[in-house]
Amino acid sequence: MKKRGRLKFHKIKTWQLLIILVPLLFLDATFLRLDHIKMTELRSAVLAADEADDDEKISSTLEELKKFVFSNIVINIVDDNGDQKITFGTGPFYLEHQYIRAANKALEEAEATIASDNNPNGNIYQLASETCRAQALANGWTWDNPNYINCMVSEINKYPAADEIQDQIIASLPSTELYRKNYASPLWAPTVSGFLILLTLIIIVIIFIRAIIWIILRLSLLFI
């Protein structure tokens, strides 16, 4: 049976393999695109949960996104300082709203600490808050707007006696890297798209080997 199978395979012409290769390449592209679309939908669900200030939903959607990306071939095009580059995975994305909430919480804790401040300038946080809240009202900022956070830090920094306080506030602000996510997918996975790609590569290798053999035989005939 094995012998017959090998004989039947050897009877397949190279041009027939090329005909098979064309729809295979189309199927590869289709299934890879479907995987990319699914990843985009899952990533959008994470960002929607972030915007809705739903930490529990963020955790569950992140877990779902991570599981999908780790078990599928996800090809993505990301922007790298103006250059487009191909990567395997989600590419970097940020939980901006969750970071702003954490940063605001840190500022509130700093406010409680600084409220008893007895430096020559008085309550530095209160003075900064008065200035920034006026700007927030004028510009239509909400209290969780990053411009408000930047304003507070900038205003506090204007007081000479506030060096230690500023260091304390900056130290209490969470690192943005904690809210930066980037999940990488495998180069190959045992999925429909994975097996299609594997079959495509096998056919390409066979065609390449046959082409090399054909060239060698042609060259050898020239010297006979």
Q: Please write the tens of the pLDDT for every residue from 198-220.
A: 999 999 999 999 888 888 887 77
The pLDDT of residue 7:
46
- Asked whether the beta carbons of 100 and 55 are under 8 A apart, the reply is no
Instruction: For 15-49, give one letter per residue: b (16+ CB within 10 A) or e.
Output: eeeeeebeebeebbeebbeebbeebeebbebbbeb
Alpha-helical (H) ranges within the chain are: 2-10, 14-51, 55-71, 96-114, 124-139, 146-156, 163-172, 192-222
- Asked whether the beta carbons of 134 and 97 are under 8 A apart, the reply is no
What is the SS3 assignment for 12?
coil
The pLDDT of residue 164:
57
Of 35-39, 181-185, 204-208, 213-217, which range is least confident?
213-217
Crossing angle of the two packed helices 96-114 and 14-51, in degrees rounded to 10: 30
Confidence of residue 133 (pLDDT cuts 50, 70, 90): confident
The pLDDT of residue 163:
55
Task: Give the CA angle between residues 215, 219, 220 to the nearest 5°.
Answer: 115
pTM, to two decimals: 0.68
Confidence of residue 39 (pLDDT cuts 50, 70, 90): very high
Q: Is a pLDDT exceeding 70 seen at residue 5?
A: no
Of 4-18, 94-108, 116-130, 135-149, which range is least confident?
116-130
Question: And the tokens for 126?
Answer: 């209160």
- Mind listing the pLDDT tens digit for each residue in 78-127? 876 667 888 999 998 999 888 888 888 877 776 666 555 555 555 666 67
Task: Count other C-beta atoms under 10 Å from residue 185's C-beta.
Answer: 22
The pLDDT of residue 224:
62
Would you list the domain boundaries of the chain? 13-92+182-217, 104-178
pLDDT-above-70 percentage for the chain: 77
Confidence of residue 16 (pLDDT cuts 50, 70, 90): confident
